[in-house]
A and B are shown apart, each in its own frame.
Chain A
Amino acid sequence: MAENVLMIALSPTMEEGTILNWSAKEGDTISTGDVLCEVETDKASMEYESAQEGTLLKIIKGEGSPARVGDVIAIIGEEGEDVSDLVAEAEAAPAAAPEPKAEEPKKETAPASEAAKEAAPKPAAPKASTPAPSVSPSSDDRIKASPLARKIAASRGINLGMVKGTGPAGRIVKEDVENFKAPLAPVEGVAVGGSSGNSFGSPLVDETVPVSRMRQTIAKRLAESKFGAPHFYLTLSVAMDGMVDFRKKANARAKEKLGLNPFFMKFAAEAIKRHRELNSSWLGDSIQFHGSIDIGLAVALPTGLITPVVRDCGNKGIAQIDAELKVLIDKAKNGGLAPDEYNGATFTISNLGSFGIEEFTAIINPPGSAILALGATVKTPVVNDNDELEIKNIMKMTLSCDHRTIDGAIGAAFMSDMKKMMEDPFQLLM
């Protein structure tokens, strides 16, 4: 009996994927676990392993085709079986829209992601001691909006999830949609000003490029965070001399040279142990305090941003964090991070110091409640305790907090503790 092969959710946030290539061809015998095709999801390219066995009778979605979760992508059955009915049915179904609609019914996602749990590749990273929180809690909530607001949002391509409702119980009404300012630059390419008569031979050209799944996800999640979570920011300066010294000594003993980021992750984890609010998630009617400190590090890829997560940093040494981080970053660069390896950071660090950025504010990475933005270490004249000028290596760090879970004083206390530890790493042991 022939069966449809359905697109499954290969990541928790995936609603649609693009089939990059088929590993199997029509007529091939398929066993359970065989790789059928490669799918570009919202974050990475994933191998689709078959949960069915039999003969691949028909490929419905060819290479380069988008497929929504739940769409039929192929038909597997017994060799020689007539599947024209199933093919007709599958082809009659509306094709996945090239652009995500503002409001897609999600009813098919739930059962499909159940299947995904079984079919998705097992994560390579060590499992966290507690299950990592999945996607941001608000993403599955039904959005309350007036029919008119829905219509206007759909016609303008506005994601209602980003719009704040002012009606009863947060209902989004016409006015809210009309006053909504898109958080990102328009998708249309940036027009180059003036004519192309640039004597320097500008490499810039007018161009409109489709938005990748990854970029769509980044846009959606960051906008949800920035507009959903009331951010506040705390900035202070840290004298880095103690830390530089500490790292030098640690490197002298370590087999492999340690990066700077594992130190920041470890110090953050130690400070979080003293302020558990920094390691929490806002769930609407409750706050979830996470038992494991899972720190994500923002990594820039040519295609977008990703945050590989080192689980349970509170119970790991700097060397172990460094080792795990190196593996994850390598995978990220190759587009091979599994969803479990980049989802559910309870705290995030973003470091733009290598670009010479002295100070910036980052957008909280849900479901976490805070993100720490680290700037470059800069030689700075500082007035010391004896009222003398002194040149010190100063790094500015800025904490973005979700005020729903973290109050100003708590964020400030965390920053103060973190500063003390970084300036005098001996504090770690105290």
Chain B
Amino acid sequence: MAIIAMREALRQALDEEMTRDENVLLMGEEVAQYNGAYKVSKGLWEKYGDKRVIDTPITELGFTGVAVGAASVGLRPVVEWMTFQFGLLAIDQIINNAAKLRHMSGGQLKVPMVVRGPNGPAEFLSSQHSQSFASYFMHIPGIKVVAPSTPYDAKGLLKTAIRDDNPVIFLEAEMYYGWTGEVPEEEYTIPFGKAAIRREGEHVTLVSFSKPMKMLEEAAEELAKEGISAEVIDIRSIRPLDEETIFGSVRKTNHVVVVDEAWPQASVGSHISGLISAKCFDDLDAPVEFVSSEDVPMPYNHTLELEVQPTVAKIVAAAKKTLYREG
């Protein structure tokens, strides 16, 4: 099986879907001639031309609105936000139009669009450009939200997202476009609403999504050295959420650490922690542990920048705490 990078997996998904369906188009800042800020759309402009790979001006509200309109009349636009930090300018189009048109038109209009791009903390970007907005989108009925953490998932989920008749928010991470992994040559898709068990374990469940997944796997290695067997779960589809896989694991291990690189309040992680507390109450042997970013704007100082986010050490400590193995 080929080992390819995240950006290549995403490119393959776009390429294959654009070949498969002529209604699929890509639009965003610098996606065409510059091949995308993170080189995800490399070669697509040459292959599909101006009409299907469209460079837009710096007008998130405008071009996202154009995509909503295009989708509602039958095209399947993939919008690249250079970063989700800029996407806030267009969030009205997502919440009020993309998410609601199907409902408000009584099903007459569908909005088969995908908005993708890097979300979450990166490095040296200070407090305005290093934030995780997953919960902003998870909050809204009418859209789907996915966040892959491996090249395999990135390709399979993006293909599913493009084929979905509803608006899909596709969260990537600036820091992981170079991560590599196995991706098969043959065609495949990954259904939404199905979490992945990355590692089987029996003592504690570690749950997260997107970039922090690498920390979870490192934390599991650390814990294994101390004889603690951690089960690692990548939810990957945030909405719809595969609650049963999470609950099933918690019922097995009775101890859980939820990790989210967003701020703690009203986050994807806090939502999952709440669900586990409510639905798995009688199977918990300890309170749900939740490791998030600190509740502060992102510092610019690099040491602090890393320290306010989840770390392997914090995850290991939380796992030991929930297992009553502190000190």
> Which residues of A are interface residues toward B (Cβ below 8 A)?
146-151, 166-168, 173-174
What residues of chain B lie closer than 8 Å to A173, measured between beta carbons? Answer: 285-286, 324
- Please list the 5 inter-chain residue pairs (A to B) with the smallest Cβ-Cβ separation, ordered nearest first: A148-B285, A174-B285, A146-B285, A151-B282, A147-B282
Knowing that A147-B281, A166-B324 are A-B contacts, what are 10 other residue pairs whose CB atoms are under 8 Å apart, sorted by A's residue number? Answer: A147-B282, A147-B285, A148-B282, A148-B283, A148-B285, A149-B285, A151-B282, A151-B283, A173-B286, A174-B285
**B254 CB-CB contact with A under 8 Å:** yes
Which of B285, B286, B324 has the most CB atoms of chain A within a 10 A radius of its CB?
Answer: B285
B254–A174 CB distance below 8 A: yes
A173 CA / B283 CA spacing, docked (Å):
11
What residues of chain A lie closer than 8 Å to B66, measured between beta carbons? Answer: none
B324–A148 CB distance below 8 A: no
What residues of chain A lie closer than 8 Å to B324, measured between beta carbons? Answer: 166-168, 173
What residues of chain B lie closer than 8 Å to A147, measured between beta carbons? Answer: 281-285
What residues of chain A lie closer than 8 Å to B286, measured between beta carbons? Answer: 146, 167, 173
Bitwise, B248-260 to A at CB < 8 A (1) or not (0) is 0000001000000
What is the chain B residue whose CB lies nearest that of A166?
B324
* Closest CB in chain B relative to A352 CB, distance in Å: 42
Main secondary structure of the interface of B (DSSP, over half): loop
**Contacts of B250-285 to chain A: CB distance below 8 A:** 254, 281-285
A168 CA / B285 CA spacing, docked (Å):
12
* Closest CB in chain A relative to B104 CB, distance in Å: 43
> Can you pick out 23 interface pairs between chain A and chain B where the beta carbons lie within 8 Å of each other?
A146-B284, A146-B285, A146-B286, A147-B281, A147-B282, A147-B283, A147-B284, A147-B285, A148-B254, A148-B282, A148-B283, A148-B284, A148-B285, A149-B285, A150-B282, A151-B282, A151-B283, A166-B324, A167-B286, A168-B324, A173-B285, A173-B286, A173-B324
Which of A147, A151, A168, A173 has the most CB atoms of chain B within a 10 A radius of its CB?
Answer: A147
A149 CA / B284 CA spacing, docked (Å):
8
A149 CA / B281 CA spacing, docked (Å):
11
A150 CA / B283 CA spacing, docked (Å):
10
What residues of chain A lie closer than 8 Å to B282, measured between beta carbons? Answer: 147-148, 150-151
What residues of chain A lie closer than 8 Å to B283, measured between beta carbons? Answer: 147-148, 151
What is the chain A residue whose CB lies nearest that of B287?
A146
* Closest CB in chain B relative to A365 CB, distance in Å: 33
A148 CA / B283 CA spacing, docked (Å):
5
Bitwise, B234-250 to A at CB < 8 A (1) or not (0) is 00000000000000000
What residues of chain B lie closer than 8 Å to A174, measured between beta carbons? Answer: 254, 285
What is the chain B residue whose CB lies nearest that of A174?
B285
What is the chain B residue whose CB lies nearest that of A177?
B285
What is the chain B residue whose CB lies nearest that of A167?
B324
* Closest CB in chain B relative to A224 CB, distance in Å: 24
A181 CA / B34 CA spacing, docked (Å):
71
* Closest CB in chain B relative to A415 CB, distance in Å: 40
What is the chain B residue whose CB lies nearest that of A168?
B324
A393 CA / B235 CA spacing, docked (Å):
79
* Closest CB in chain B relative to A121 CB, distance in Å: 43
A47 CA / B324 CA spacing, docked (Å):
50
A147 CA / B285 CA spacing, docked (Å):
6
What residues of chain B lie closer than 8 Å to A149, measured between beta carbons? Answer: 285
A147 CA / B250 CA spacing, docked (Å):
13
* Closest CB in chain A relative to B277 CB, distance in Å: 9
